[in-house]
Structure 1
C-alpha cells in the first residue's frame, strides 16, 4: 500500500479485498505474508513493515535513475494514508496506531534520506495544512473510500511541484510547522497489495508488488531486483500510461531500446539490474534469487509465454553482471 509521493493506495485494497494482476505468473510455495486468521492489529503491522521496506528501496531506485526516466516529478519520499480508507475492522486500529483523522493525510512511512526525513517527519505525523491552507478533514464514518485522501494528496502534490512547502503537522498533542524541500525523481510510485500470491507488475505509472512477494524477498537487494525489474518496464515504456505524470524528458528515454512483446521481460531483467546497480544495491545476488525462486515455485521454474525459465533468466543476469563489472572496471557510466 505504498506510494512514495502520493496516497497509500493499497489501504483501499485492504478495505475492499482486491487482488492485482501479476507481471509474472503466480506461484504457490512459501509462507504468505498475511493470514486471514491474524488479528487486525497484527495484520496492520505486517503491512506497515512491508510498506517501509518497499518505500526505502523504491525511493533509492527512483532517485538514482532520474536520467533514464522520461517522466519526472517532485517527491517528498513519504507514504501517506488516511482513516477513511480503512475497513470497519482496521479503521480503529489504524486511528489508534497512527493518530489518523478522517481524510487528513497521515504519514505511514518515510524513506531514508528523503526530503520528508530531512524535514523531521515520521510515521504517526498527521498533515493538517499545506502553505497555510487546511487539508479537508472529510467524514469520519461510512464505508471505506479513497476519494477524500486523493483530493488532499492532489493538493500536496501541486504544492510540491512549486518548490518548498510549509506543512502544519500534528504529532500526538503537539502541532508544529516544518519546511519540506522536495526532490526530483522518476514519476513511478510503489505500492504493496495484500495478496497470498507471488505477484509483481507495472502499469506505466506505478510498480505493484504483493505482500507475499515482498515478504519472500527477505533481503533488500532481492527486493530491489523485483522492484527494479518492474520499474524497468516503466522506464522502457513497455506499458505507457494513458496520460503523462509529468513533463517528458527530451533526451534519455529515447536512448533506451523498448523491445517488443517477446523481448520485454528479458529487457526488463537487464535494465532492472542496471537500475539496481546505479542505486547502490548488490546486483550479484539477483541470479541466485531467481534460482531460489525457481526452486521454490515450480511455475516459474519452467518457461512460460512471455517469460523464460528462472534458470535462463538467471544466466542472462550473470551475463549482465559481467557487463556491469566490465563497465565499472573501464570507468564507463552504468547506462543500459
Structure 2
C-alpha cells in the first residue's frame, strides 16, 4: 500500500476529465456531479475519522506511542485526476482545503473547519506553492500533514489562514500515534504500523457505527501492539501471523470500551460478518474461523466490564494478557 491519501479512485469522471482541454469540452462538465462525487467520498472518510478519533483519543493513556493531534485532515487538489476540475467543483482558488474534522476533536470543536473550506496558509506556509506533479500526486498532501504534526509537536499549536483572510489557532490533545486514511479503491482494511487504511468499498461501512468501530479497532490494535515490528523480527510464518491476528482480536473490546462503545460489539462483529460478505478482512490461513474469533473476544468482555465498573476505564496496558513477548514487539 502506498503511503498517502489514495484519492485516485474517487471519481471515474475526474479520471476521464484528466484529458487535455483540447480533447474535452470543459463546458460539458457537470461540476455539480463532480462535487457530489467528492462529497460522497468525504462522507465515508468522515465516518472513518470520527470512529478513528474516538478510539485513538480515548486509549491514549495506554499507548506506548502518542502524538499531539487536532483531528484535521486536509485535501490537496494535486491528488485528484484533474486538479483544475476538482478545484472549480469545490470553488477553490488554490489547492488546499478541509477534508474532514473528526467529531469531538479540537478542529471540529473550534467550528472553523467545515468541509471544503479553503486553507491558504498553515503556520505561515502556503502549501499550494510547494511543488507537485500535475495530477494524482499524493506526496505533497503527506508532506502537509507531516508539517502539521511537526508544528504541533514543536509549538503546541498551529495557526491557519483561510481564503477570507480570517485566522484560527488550534491547540492539540494527545492521541495514540496512528493515522486513519480512506483509500479511493478496494475493500480491504489494513494496518501498516503507522496507519489504518480502509478501502472505500469496505463492507464495514454498511454496518452500525459500533460494528464498524470494531473493524477499525482490530486494525488499530495491530499498530498499538506493534505487530509489524514483531513480524519483521520473528518472521511472517503462518503461525506468527495468526498469533498477531488473535492478539489484535483480543484487544478489540478493550479499545471499544474506552471509546464508549459496547465491548461486546467485537463479538457481534464476527458473528455478523461471514466470508460470503466479501471484503479483504480475512486472509486465508492467517485467521481463525469466525466462530472461534467471536468466542475469543467475548471471553475478554467480563474482565473489561469489571475494570470499567471498578476503575472507570479498561487499562489494557496493565491488564491485557499479551500473546507475544512485549519486549519483542518494541
Give the TM-score category using the shorter length: 0.7 to 0.9
Equivalent pair of 2:77/2:86 in contact (CA under 8 Å): no
SS in 2 for 1:263: helix
Equivalent pair of 1:294/1:300 in contact (CA under 8 Å): no
State the Cα distance separating 1:314 from its structure 2 match.
Answer: 1.1
Equivalent pair of 1:101/1:140 in contact (CA under 8 Å): no
Q: Which has the higher helix share?
A: 2
Q: Take 2:57 and 2:100, find their aligned partners in 1: how far apart are those partners? A: 17
What does 1:1-336 correspond to in 2, within 5 Å?
Answer: 9-12=5-8, 14=10, 40-88=34-82, 92-93=85-86, 95-97=88-90, 99=92, 101-102=94-95, 105-120=96-111, 121-138=113-130, 142-161=134-153, 162-170=155-163, 174-197=164-187, 199-213=188-202, 215-240=204-229, 260-294=240-274, 296-297=276-277, 304-331=284-311, 333-334=313-314, 335=316, 336=320
Q: Take 2:88 and 2:165, find their aligned partners in 1: how far apart are those partners? A: 17
Equivalent pair of 2:94/2:128 in contact (CA under 8 Å): no
SS in 2 for 1:261: helix
Higher relative contact order (CA 8 A, sep 6+): 1
* Aligned position for 1:23: none
Q: Take 2:240 and 2:156, find their aligned partners in 1: how far apart are those partners? A: 38
State the Cα distance separating 1:295 from its structure 2 match.
Answer: 6.6
SS in 1 for 2:273: helix
Pair 1:187–1:330, CA change in 2 (3 A): closer
After superposing the two structures, state which structure 1 stretch, 296-305 or 231-240, moved more: 296-305
The CA RMSD over aligned residues, in Å, is 3.2
State the Cα distance separating 1:187 from its structure 2 match.
Answer: 1.3
* Aligned position for 1:20: none
Q: Take 2:80 and 2:48, find their aligned partners in 1: how far apart are those partners? A: 20
Pair 1:44–1:302, CA change in 2 (3 A): closer
Unpaired runs of 5+ residues, structure 1, are: 1-6, 17-38, 242-258
State the Cα distance separating 1:69 from its structure 2 match.
Answer: 2.0
Q: Higher Cα Rg: structure 1 or 2?
A: 2
Pair 1:157–1:295, CA change in 2 (3 A): closer
Q: Take 1:44 and 1:299, find their aligned partners in 2: how far apart are those partners? A: 23
Equivalent pair of 1:87/1:144 in contact (CA under 8 Å): yes
Unpaired runs of 5+ residues, structure 2, are: 13-32, 231-238, 321-330
Q: Take 2:134 and 2:7, find their aligned partners in 1: how far apart are those partners? A: 15
Q: TM-score, normalised by structure 1?
A: 0.75
